[in-house]
Structure 1
Amino acid sequence: MHHKLLKKTSFAALFTLILFSGCNRGTTEEAGGEKLVIGATMLSMQNEFIVNIADEMQKKADELGVELVSVDAERSALKQVEQVESFIAQGVDAIILNPCEVEASSAAVQKAKAANIPIINVNSATSATPTAFVGSDDVESGRIAMKHIAEKLGGKGNVFIIHGYMGQAAQLQRDKGAKEVLKNYPNIKLVAEQTGEWDRAKAMSLTENWIQSHGDKINAIFAHNDEMGMGAVKALENANLNDKVVVVSIDAIADAVQAVEKGRLDATVFQNAQEQGGKAIQTAVKIAKGEPYEKEVMVPFKLITQANVAEIAK
């Protein structure tokens, strides 16, 4: 087990002991009220977008006066399931799961439900149905991106798609949305599509290969995330083709927002990490308190171009 995690867990275990001695499962008497305890396991704290969600969760927990115990699954579904087991043993009031994998993280959902502890998925899906889901519909992000490309191309041209990891929820859904839009544009030709595995360097070398094979026949590139979009932009700039090719990607990470401001990237699709994090905590608190809640909270995506980039530019 990780040292940092060990410290966190032992602190949480200590905290739970105090709770249990008060004969009050998962709550502690504080200022005449009960303080709820929420456990959260996050996909990876190396990922900027996930960190933004986690930060907002902490803010909202502080604001609502609940105790949030957050741990990092470090991309391991196995570790994530163990973390959820630990939360169950500690008798937390609710668990927030930011799943590492659709299938492998499903065991965590099943275990929490078997223990009668509400589990809320944030940002990403599992095949097992959680108590509630807070996130965004990735199909919509793919539609928004491809629609913008189609409009910029005036309904005709050659488009290339850089996929995320094949088989991951975001890759499947973003692809589905993009292809739905392409069906309506018979004069836009999908020339090639390949995975860049969410990675900037891989997307850059993939784009270099396409430039060698297709040259100025490339009219647009849709990348499933901004890391890959930025890799494509770099390859196009090196070949002096960036002004001729429409590049659109998804997430609105800081680099991409800056690139949109400067006109290097045509557009990014903003996924609202702040709202996802805040609403995950709000939903967890509602369920823990036995209040009515929405089983699915969908946070809308938004197209960011040079025209409206100022709204989200830090």
Structure 2
Amino acid sequence: MMIVKYAAAAVVAGILSLGAAHAQEGMVDELRQPTLDTLAGKKVIFVPMSMSFDLPEGWAAIMQKEATRVGYTLDIRDANWSTDTGTRALTQAITEKPDVIVVQNFDVASYARTLKKAEDSGIKVIQVNMKSSYQTDAFVGADWYGIGQYAANRMIEKCGKASGKSGKIAIIQGPATAAASVYQLNAISETLKGHDDIKIVSSQTGDWDQSKARGIAQTVIQQNPDLCGIIGFWDVMDAGTGAAIQESGKDIYLITSGGGNKTACQGVENGTFKEVISYDVEGQGRDLNNAIKVLLQSKEAAGAVKFALYTPNKIISKDTMSTNSCWDLDQLKK
């Protein structure tokens, strides 16, 4: 009798197991295909400041891979370092009625009216890394205030009264009206309030130009032999700042920020930079893709919902650097 009971139990267990296996094989993800159908055939236009440097090259590579994977198109309209060219590219894009425009602003003002015109025309707009004064559907990019706050705090640590050093620091900005300059300067000013032991002896615009940054740094170092630190606003520009420091033979603490290209890690390794605050182009590319897909699936009108995805800061220094701290464009394109 016991043998019969065990046999019956085994049969039931087998049937249940078989049923569960069939249920698992037959399950359908009811969201997947409708999502892919919604994305297929859509059009995205990307208008960067220029395709001649690491940030937009990295974003474009990541966006293109995802566009190919899920079936929408990505067109690139290069502003080639010209606000006039960029405005014409945006105006032309509006006439083509893409579903989404991704734009990298030169400054807080130049594209503001054109971006509003795009949204008024029913086109959803994502701003990447450099904000306009006009807030569109989405912003994906660096937390400039957080970057400036971190850099200022590091100057307090490295050059303040407790360090035994002069407290003299310099700032080399980008263009004065660029979001990276506007928001970082605000953060630095706010953070240094009440720290009388820190003195900003120079704050000048390097205009993203390596040669100009080098010249500024050379002059400031000559005028302030006891200069303790420099905050730079972009690592590509600040390769010139670092070269001026190395030429001087002085131990000046240079902290800068950038997208985390492999040259940032190389700069830390060879001593050009003490620290790079990376806003991580790889992470931004993923966030851009997610923002694009959310907006393409959303039934809300252009401009109806506004959100931001700020990039977490990644600190690259000799103490924190690892094999995956920086990215390589050739690898991103694979």
| TM-score, with length taken from structure 1 | 0.82
Whole-Å separation in 1 of the counterparts to 2:224 and 2:37: 68
Q: Secondary structure at the match of 2:207?
A: coil
CA offsets 1:3-30 (integer angstroms, 9 cap, x no match): xxxxxxxxxxxxxxxxxxxxxxxxxxx9
Deviation at 1:154, TM superposition (A): 5.1
Deviation at 1:130, TM superposition (A): 0.8
Query: Which of residues 206, 213, 232 is equivalent to 1:203?
Result: 213
Name the amino acid aligned to 1:312: S
Deviation at 1:153, TM superposition (A): 2.9
How many matched pairs? 282
Unpaired segments ≥5 residues, structure 2: 1-35, 328-334
Query: Which of residues 170, 180, 184 is equivalent to 2:190?
Result: 180
Residue matched to 2:15: none
Whole-Å separation in 2 of the counterparts to 1:190 and 1:98: 30
Deviation at 1:205, TM superposition (A): 1.5
Q: Secondary structure at the match of 2:155?
A: helix
Q: Secondary structure at the match of 2:208?
A: coil
Whole-Å separation in 2 of the counterparts to 1:67 and 1:236: 45
**Paired residues for 1:16-31 under 5 Å:** none
Residue matched to 2:62: 56
CA offsets 1:105-124 (integer angstroms, 9 cap, x no match): 12321221121111111111
Residue matched to 1:70: 76
Structure 1 stretch displaced more, 258-267 or 148-157: 148-157
Q: Does residue 139 in structure 1 map to residue 139 in structure 2?
A: no
CA offsets 1:166-205 (integer angstroms, 9 cap, x no match): 1221111111122222225321222222222222111111
Structure 1 stretch displaced more, 272-281 or 123-132: 272-281
Q: Secondary structure at the match of 2:66?
A: helix
**Paired residues for 1:288-307 under 5 Å:** 288-290=296-298, 295-307=307-319
Structure 1 stretch displaced more, 98-107 or 300-309: 98-107
Deviation at 1:260, TM superposition (A): 0.9
Residue matched to 1:312: 325
Assess, with a 3 A threshold, how the Cα gap between structure 1 residues 33 and 137 changes in structure 2: closer, same or farther. Answer: closer
Whole-Å separation in 2 of the counterparts to 1:146 and 1:41: 32
Q: Does residue 233 in structure 1 map to residue 245 in structure 2?
A: no
Residue matched to 2:269: 261
Query: Which of residues 276, 285, 288 is equivalent to 1:280?
Result: 288
Q: Secondary structure at the match of 1:40?
A: strand
Residue matched to 1:25: none
Q: Secondary structure at the match of 1:72?
A: coil
Whole-Å separation in 2 of the counterparts to 1:206 and 1:112: 39
Name the amino acid aligned to 1:269: I
Q: Secondary structure at the match of 1:287?
A: helix
Whole-Å separation in 1 of the counterparts to 2:48 and 2:98: 16
**Paired residues for 1:153-172 under 5 Å:** 153=159, 155=161, 157-172=167-182
**Paired residues for 1:237-252 under 5 Å:** 237-241=246-250, 244-251=251-258, 252=260
Q: Secondary structure at the match of 1:35?
A: coil
Q: Is the CA contact (8 Å cut-off) linking 1:77 and 1:101 kept in structure 2?
A: no
Name the amino acid aligned to 1:104: S
Residue matched to 1:151: 157
Deviation at 1:44, TM superposition (A): 0.6
Whole-Å separation in 2 of the counterparts to 1:107 and 1:205: 36
- Give aligned-pair identity as a percent: 24
Name the amino acid aligned to 2:204: Q
Name the amino acid aligned to 2:233: H
Deviation at 1:138, TM superposition (A): 0.7
Deviation at 1:32, TM superposition (A): 11
Indicate the RMSD between aligned Cα atoms, in angstroms.
2.4
Q: Is the CA contact (8 Å cut-off) linking 1:283 and 1:294 kept in structure 2?
A: no
Name the amino acid aligned to 1:295: F
Unpaired segments ≥5 residues, structure 1: 1-29
Name the amino acid aligned to 1:301: N
Q: Is the CA contact (8 Å cut-off) linking 1:258 and 1:313 kept in structure 2?
A: no
CA offsets 1:35-68 (integer angstroms, 9 cap, x no match): 2211221111112222112222212222333211
Assess, with a 3 A threshold, how the Cα gap between structure 1 residues 97 and 264 changes in structure 2: closer, same or farther. Answer: closer
Residue matched to 2:114: 108
Q: Is the CA contact (8 Å cut-off) linking 1:230 and 1:256 kept in structure 2?
A: no
Whole-Å separation in 1 of the counterparts to 2:286 and 2:239: 28
Whole-Å separation in 2 of the counterparts to 1:31 and 1:110: 29
Assess, with a 3 A threshold, how the Cα gap between structure 1 residues 132 and 33 changes in structure 2: closer, same or farther. Answer: closer
Assess, with a 3 A threshold, how the Cα gap between structure 1 residues 152 and 36 changes in structure 2: closer, same or farther. Answer: same
Deviation at 1:266, TM superposition (A): 0.7
Deviation at 1:33, TM superposition (A): 8.0
Q: Is the CA contact (8 Å cut-off) linking 2:40 and 2:70 kept in structure 1?
A: no
Q: Which is higher, the Rg of structure 1 or of structure 2? A: 2
Deviation at 1:149, TM superposition (A): 2.5
